[in-house]
Amino acid sequence: MAETTLKTTDNNALLRHDVNMLGNILGEILVLHGGEELLDKVETIREKTKSIRKTFDEGTYHTLKNEISSLQPPMRQQVIRAFSIYFHLINIAEQNHRIRRRRQYLLTEETNQSFSLEDAVSKVKSYNLSNDGIQEVLKTLSLELIMTAHPTEATKRTVLEIQKRISENLRKLDNPQSTQREKAFVKESLFNEVTALWHTDELRHRKPEVLDEVKNGLYYFDQTLFDTLPSIFQDLELQLQEKISEEDWQVPNFIRFGSWIGGDRDGNPNVTPEITWQTLEMQRELILKKYDDAIVDLMRRFSQSSERISISQDFIDKVAAEEHRYLQEKDTWPVKSEIYRRKFAVILKRLRQTGKSADGYRFAEELAGDLKEIKEHAEAHLPKTKKLKTMRKVIRQVEMFGFHLATLDIRNHSGEHETAIHEILKAVHVTDDYSALTEEAKQEVLLELLNDQRPLLLFDGGYSEATQKMLKVFRMIKKAHNEFGKRAIQVYLISMAEAPSDVLEVLLLAKEMGIYRLYPDGSIESDLDVAPLLETIDDLVAGPNIMQTLFETKVYRKQLQARNNHQEIMLGYSDGSKDGGTLSANWQLFKAQLEIHNMARDYDIRLKFFHGRGGSLGRGGGSLNTSILSQPVETLGDGVKITEQGEVLSSRYLLEDIAYRNLEQAAAALFENCAKVSSAPHQLELRKNEWEEAMEAISEKSLKKYQSLVFGDPDFLTYFNQATPLNELGALNIGSRPMSRKNSQRFEDLRAIPWVFAWTQSRHMLPAWYAAGTGLQSFIEADDSNLEILQTMYKEWSFFHSTINNLQMALLKADMKTAKEYLELVADPVLANRIYEDVLDEYERTKKALLQISGDEELLSHKPNIKESVHLRNPYVDPLNYLQVDLIQKLRDTPNPPDDLVTEVLLTINGVAAGLVNTG
């Protein structure tokens, strides 16, 4: 494809070079496989879309539309793929440039890169905390990142692996030590990889099964996270030693990964207890393999001989006893004086028997203890300031990942628990119609049963299949605790938790399976946290009352005491935004956190908020560090848990350097802000009352505007269904979970994910910004001083700052001219134009308000890399949108469409998804 000019700063010259080089390679491949005709067709379409973006011309526009409409197979599919693959190449080039910029900072810049560990430690040093005070802050830090399998990761694993190899080749070309011959070899390899990308079928021919999604999640642990995560903590220790003092800092493993993949049953009938068990087995298999490789490497390194250094006789005798117990003659290390290698031989044997025989390790703590024993003996022969970094890294890995790799959360819908409880209580004649009881009566029944040691379940209760499946889930959790350790499954999440009884029902089911145990003296043991998920606007408003009722209930307080007075609460961003718009939802989330935090503090309960955000902007997306900073600052010390949605995993964790930077930003933001609060807890002005009053007024107006369209306009759903590729998404085979709960056509049952994905494809991006303008503009116009208040909020309040910037990003990536093309798909043009004009009017209103508040001349002027990246992409996304509209129209007009036509529509969806990825 023709060379592309990126008119950005000089710092981006190397990025321009990479984009041009990759574009030229793709151009060669197009000629090779489609002739000059294919390349000419792609260039003609690109030039016309670029021209229209620069200066709209009616004649050029109609020529372009005719050019696209007249495309015929197989040329049409090749054109679609050319634009789509170009986006994959741009994405790789931009990620490589992020790595390049990071290295440039480390090598030459005098100032620290923002949200780097160096920058965080420098700021913490200025807060005048004692070393003990800093150590105490480190002990309080907690960040859990939970992988999900949300069905908007459209890129196949094979394609990701090709992208990774292309990225590695680009980095090799940056090496100033490479010879011309080596560079020529790398360029040839680049050509071959781009050719492989062109030859690879990017569409899945079957819907992925849950275990396919599990394998995809495990890929990131295998490729990057196992090695990258411990490096964050070791590097933070190093920065503390260099910048604050040379003492032996103890940085805990305060970032951990968990997963929903294989455990999230909400609306996904494919996640059975058997699948969850297989997931746990696959996780253990991978982590044992990683430990095996790491310990074999350590064994090679630890060649110290007792003939050269003094090693205690007690240690030597202990190793000899272990050899006698665990090893056969053929398994022992042959050189008697190499005592550490003899110990490693024992460790390897036991590791390889873990989960298979009594000789294996029962708990990961035993493995960590054996490694620490070697470390302590070996470090005794080093100067006090020198440490065995590789050994310490492996010990950290064992402490972080255990034998379970990642904690698996179990999630289920509150209605399914109620149905099971209803049936069980009816079978034992506790109550004939539990579901019909008032909330107060339900609580009374549940509390009485939780205070009773007697079991409820009958040996042959004749329960329905649904209830039996529910009971199998809890039996599986109990069995998993015995087999994989209690860290394997720690949290049970309740979707659509609307009342205290929703939480108590889960506790009662846990009691029946011995996960929650009541003893004769009234004491309780519990192996499971029960976490309500507050999703809708109404749930968020009711959340504080739900939690207060539970905190004041004796039985539930005993459950909390058994869990170290710890309560996890999940906050849903997707459904709240779908229900009330992104601005109102974010404010309700902020308020709910603050109110519940203050209440929990009064009850001496430690909270952890689990933020179900990430991925696209309409679902609370954004970088990890901005997600952390947008929370009420006083809640950060409670611990933070955030979902890492399926569609961002490859952009964040495919490449080791990008994974490191992503985790570093999160660690730096959390450490620096917790230290800031700790240094002056009573002097820190968190927010002004007038700011909260402003947000309340803005939110109220925004909610009213949003719901007047989404719920108040009887034609809105028709517009949504027809003016987006919603109905075509189901054929894309990108997730194991149905698009709708209960296979219903109702808006209430539509999942937030396809809701956002469909609007993104049509370039409306409506869930990410709609109604924000009405809220903001109405506040600005209410009083002459209000604009200045919002401008101050933007400068001084992290929550508002990130909210405004996310809205700017959403508007920048939205394109109302392109969105207008989708009106052709709406059967009633009057309906289409009426709703579109409302959306366009709100877009302009929102843009005006955002620019007034931020002081920017254009959207995201202060983020030139992101702004220019979006502008670069638009002329390449536009053809895919034009093609998508044309092909969907043909598809919907054809009673029995050919497979090729369906394939082409899906290819445009893949291409637009690749083109609109968050960048910068």
Active-site residues, by number, are 150, 578
Q: Which tokens go with 351? A: 């590791």
242/234 Cα distance (integer angstroms): 12
Q: Whose structure tokens read 């041009």?
A: 20
Nearest to 863 by CA among 8, 1, 6: 8
917/87 Cα distance (integer angstroms): 9
Phi, psi for 177 (deg, rounded to 5): -85, -5
Q: Which helix (H) or strand (E) holds 642?
A: strand 640-644
Q: Which tokens go with 276? A: 């969850």
Give the start-end residues of each E strand in 573-638. 606-612
Q: Which residues pair with 529 in a beta bridge?
A: 491
Nearest to 497 by CA among 547, 447, 450: 547
Count each helix (H run) and each strand (E run) in the chain, helices first: 36, 11
360/343 Cα distance (integer angstroms): 15
867/817 Cα distance (integer angstroms): 18
Give residue 291's identity as a one-letter amino acid code.
Y
Nearest to 547 by CA among 532, 526, 563, 559: 532
Q: Whose structure tokens read 């440490």?
A: 387
Cβ atoms of 819 and 763 closer than 8 Å:
yes
747/890 Cα distance (integer angstroms): 26
Q: Which tokens go with 815? A: 């394109």
Q: Which tokens go with 196? A: 């492989």
Cβ atoms of 42 and 1 closer than 8 Å:
yes
Q: In this structure, what DSSP letter does residue 362 have? A: S
| Strand, coil or helix: 644 | strand
152/177 Cα distance (integer angstroms): 41
CA dihedral sign, ordered 330, 331, 335, 336: negative
| Residue 869 neighbours by CB under 8 Å, 6+ apart | 94, 919, 920
Cβ atoms of 23 and 113 closer than 8 Å:
no
| Peptide bond between residue 681 and the one before it cis (omega within 30 degrees of 0) | no
Give residue 235's identity as a one-letter amino acid code.
D
Go through 718-734 and write b for each residue having 16 or more CB atoms within 10 A of its CB, e for each that does not: bbbebbbbbebbebbbb
Helices (H), 537-581: 537-551, 554-562, 574-580
616/646 Cα distance (integer angstroms): 11
413/521 Cα distance (integer angstroms): 33
Q: End-to-end CA distance of the chain, in Å?
A: 23
How crowded is the C-beta side of 611, counted as CA atoms within 13 Å?
A: 32
Nearest to 7 by CA among 875, 920, 871: 871
Cβ atoms of 798 and 633 closer than 8 Å:
yes
